[in-house]
Amino acid sequence: MDNTLLAELIALGLLLLYAASVVAALEAILKSRTSQGAIAWVLSLVTIPILALPLYLVFGRNRFDGYMEKRDQIESESLALLERASGSIRGHLVGPGESTPLYTSLFNLARMPATTGNRVELLIDGEATFASLLEGLQRAQRYILFQFYIIRDDALGRELGRVLADKARDGLQVYLLYDEIGSRPFHRSRLLRQLRMSGVHVAPFNTTQGYRNRFQLNFRNHRKVVVIDGREAWVGGHNVGDEYLGRNPDIGHWRDTHVHVHGPAVMGAELAFATDWLWASNGHLAIDWDFNGAAPGSSEVLVFPSDPASEYEETALMFLQTIVAARKRIWIASPYFVPDSSIVAALQLAALNGVDVRVLIPDEPDGPVVGLANWSFTRQLIPAGVGIYRYQGGFMHQKVLLMDDSLAGVGTANFDNRSFRLNFEITLLVEDADFAAQVADMLETDFARSHRVGPADFANRPMWFTLGMATARLFSPVL
């Protein structure tokens, strides 16, 4: 090829690259949810487009194109189903303003009402969680909805898989949904092939689906939801893998929490699953949506799903609302503690107002960058009186919230920017004094196994540690 022609082609390629980077920079200005993120992307796209443009295509966008339309479709259909239902569930609905004031905003964010008449069981650690789940799967008579971020082809995965396969062979409708990135090894596993051969409906949640999403690897469907016959559901922090039972010697004890709910609130978990299934498979669930059971308890439950297709940062606003509404205490347990500035300010203000603010995080975080970011935010919160506890009884993975003496939340959302903006999450908010007391007792036990961080923990730290904290904080929007 002529050198002149080659030079012209290179120049043309660079011109197109720069033009595409400018377009991406304009999109970042218009669509980034934070000014810091917009500035960072614009500067990198304009100065080093050859590196920044591919990164932006993969990690830059925080809106999940196409999912909003699918979500709106299934929600409109579900409302129509609710109107046509027998009416049994409608007697359990709780409207905005009928309970605590904070429910008004949470109802609007969740896009569904709370329900009364539920029975909620707290499941502490893997043995209790998977024993309850296996018993529930055996009870199934009509259908099973089974969704996890991570599913492994190991002893636990095969044990659960055998039950799902047996139920499918018995004629039940069994739907299994997993995240294509979180469960990448499962995608090619023998267990998956066996489940499909048994009649289980299987679909990966594919976040690269659609023209605009084909480069996107940044979104995750982090939900863990199991529904049996529309009458009981499980939601929480566990995934399907032997390590969640403490069987991995490199990790040791796995501290996690799940919740088991019976009653009309289960329909909220079904709707979240149905929306994800519609996106993943472009199909609907062949299930009976009507709730005809009697109210098995007295707990008020709001199923709170969130996703990156929404107009609002729903998980962040949910945490923010509970923090500012707290009058006695706000306790938060999360394996990832990388909040944004508004959450930090709310925690500081709550503590300065005399609220008992405590945050429980692992003593050994999942990765050095996350660990350094944790220390950075810890140093900022301690002077205001926020108690930061580093759990030392194993790896702490639970996602739990406790506000005052009546409201508790258990779900999949971490206390970080990824759950706030990029992940599909689900949390069960339970308004019940007895359940809140159980959560308080559980967290008190966890605090007793933890070290409360104080100023002495920052004394005599080397310069690289201080620099590392500052650097890790810069990456907090994508951690």
Identify whether 258 is a catalytic site residue. Answer: no
Q: Which residues of 211-250 are buried (b: 16+ CB within 10 A; e: fewer)?
A: eebeebebbbbbbbbbbbbbbbbbbbbbbbbbbbbbeeee
Which among 224, 258, 260, 262 is annotated as catalytic? 224
Which among 399, 416, 432, 446 is annotated as catalytic? 399
Identify whether 276 is a catalytic site residue. Answer: no
One-letter amino acid of 325: A
Residues with Cβ within 8 Å of 415's Cβ and at least 6 positions away in sequence, in order, are 319, 332, 334, 336, 337, 338, 339, 343, 359, 399
Chain centre distance of CA 333 = 13
Which among 125, 153, 154, 229 is annotated as catalytic? 229
Which among 70, 92, 201, 222 is annotated as catalytic? 222
Which among 125, 154, 256, 404 is annotated as catalytic? 404
Task: Please check whether residue 425 is in contact with residue 419, taking contact to mean a CB–CB distance below 8 angstroms.
Answer: yes
Which among 340, 363, 397, 416 is annotated as catalytic? 397
Task: Please check whether residue 415 is in contact with residue 336, taking contact to mean a CB–CB distance below 8 angstroms.
Answer: yes
Task: Please check whether residue 328 is in contact with residue 123, taking contact to mean a CB–CB distance below 8 angstroms.
Answer: no
Identify whether 31 is a catalytic site residue. Answer: no
Identify whether 229 is a catalytic site residue. Answer: yes
Identify whether 397 is a catalytic site residue. Answer: yes
For residues 363 and 417, what is the distance between their CA atoms, to the nearest angstrom? 20
For residues 159 and 148, what is the distance between their CA atoms, to the nearest angstrom? 15
For residues 417 and 371, what is the distance between their CA atoms, to the nearest angstrom? 15
Residues noted as catalytic: 222, 224, 229, 397, 399, 404
